[in-house]
Amino acid sequence: MFHKSFKKIRSTVWLAALLLAPMTLSLAACSPAPAQSKQIKVGVAFYPMKELLLLIQDDLKKDGFELNINEFSDYQAPNNLLKSKELDANMIQHDYFLQSFNKANGSDLVTVQPIYHATFALYSKDLKNLADLPDGASITLADDATNLSRSLYLLGQAGLLTFKDGKTTGLTLEDIATNPKNLKLDDQVPLTSLAQKYSETGLAVMYPTYAKSLKLEGNEQRLYVEKQDDVTKGYAISLVARSDNKDSAGMKALIKHLTSQKVRQFLQDQYSWASTPAFE
């Protein structure tokens, strides 16, 4: 009798288990998976972009994004990798350089947030005043199209050159209308070689990043500093993405934190000698 009762109870337990199993699986399927941070891969090439990203890394993590910083020593690779979707964004350039890259490569990269204006300047090792610039002086300039144009525009702001038809961007030596001091401007080198060349020539138009490599800070050896206007505002170093991800949640998080008071304070405290913030 006991044996038959036991068998009946065991059968009932097995039946209950079979009936409950689908319910258990269904509940498991409905349970949310553990939250995982989405990765944002950003390319950088010069100070202080990596430092800015490290500054906001934990803030991005709180928003559910894991920051992956990729460092480069040139300006083409970060754009090519962004174009091929191996990077999500980069922080290496201003909009004029970006448009030149897009035109040459058939890409659709877009500026999504200006970050800061670099203090672009004409440097001199020996002169203290622009008026002392001698006739026939040779000035070293960057050789790439966008930074050559910017250098020429700066010399125009300084009253040293004028340009045909009031041209302001895409400038070349052929666009010069007047050059009253007969400046020699054909000494052009890659951007990354400007500091070394400046050590030899003593006159160059360059960015503070390269001046810093010469241990120059603040206004030291700056003969003339670029003025902010409607043309130069397009030279702000910016966060760049693609047209297909510019409105993504990750990009919105990057923009939010890169325009925070924390970043503004860093630029003011650590980099004011070389830049001004380009966001409100």
Give residue-wise pLDDT tens across range 243-265. Answer: 999 999 999 999 999 999 999 99
**What residues in the chain have per-residue pLDDT under 50?**
1-35
What is residue 211's predicted lDDT score, i.e. its pLDDT? Answer: 86
Q: Nearest CA to 91 among 224, 279, 211, 254?
A: 254
What is residue 21's predicted lDDT score, i.e. its pLDDT? Answer: 44
Work out the end-to-end distance of the chain between its first and last CA atoms, rounded to an integer number of angstroms: 87
The total of other beta-carbon atoms located within 10 Å of residue 176's CB is 18
Cα 207–chain centre separation:
14
How far apart CA 176 and CA 154 sit, in angstroms, is 13
What is residue 6's predicted lDDT score, i.e. its pLDDT? Answer: 41
Is the distance from CB of 92 to CB of 254 less than 8 angstroms? no
Helix (H, G, I), strand (E, B), or coil: what is residue 114?
Answer: strand
What is residue 25's predicted lDDT score, i.e. its pLDDT? Answer: 39
What is residue 37's predicted lDDT score, i.e. its pLDDT? Answer: 63
What is residue 34's predicted lDDT score, i.e. its pLDDT? Answer: 41
What is residue 212's predicted lDDT score, i.e. its pLDDT? Answer: 81
At which residue do the structure tokens 């300006």 appear? Answer: 75
As a residue count, the chain comes to 280
pLDDT tens per residue across span 217-240: 889 999 999 999 999 999 999 999
The total of other beta-carbon atoms located within 10 Å of residue 220's CB is 11
What is residue 36's predicted lDDT score, i.e. its pLDDT? Answer: 54
**Helix 49-62 and helix 261-270: axis angle, to 10°?**
160
**Under 8 Å CB-to-CB from 34, ≥6 apart: which residues?**
none
Is the distance from CB of 274 to CB of 208 less than 8 angstroms? yes
What is residue 209's predicted lDDT score, i.e. its pLDDT? Answer: 81
Q: Where do the domains of the chain lie, and which CATH numbers do they carry?
A: 38-119+234-277 (3.40.190.10), 121-225 (3.40.190.10)
Handedness of CA 234, 240, 242, 248 (dihedral sign): negative
The model's pTM is 0.78
What is residue 141's predicted lDDT score, i.e. its pLDDT? Answer: 98
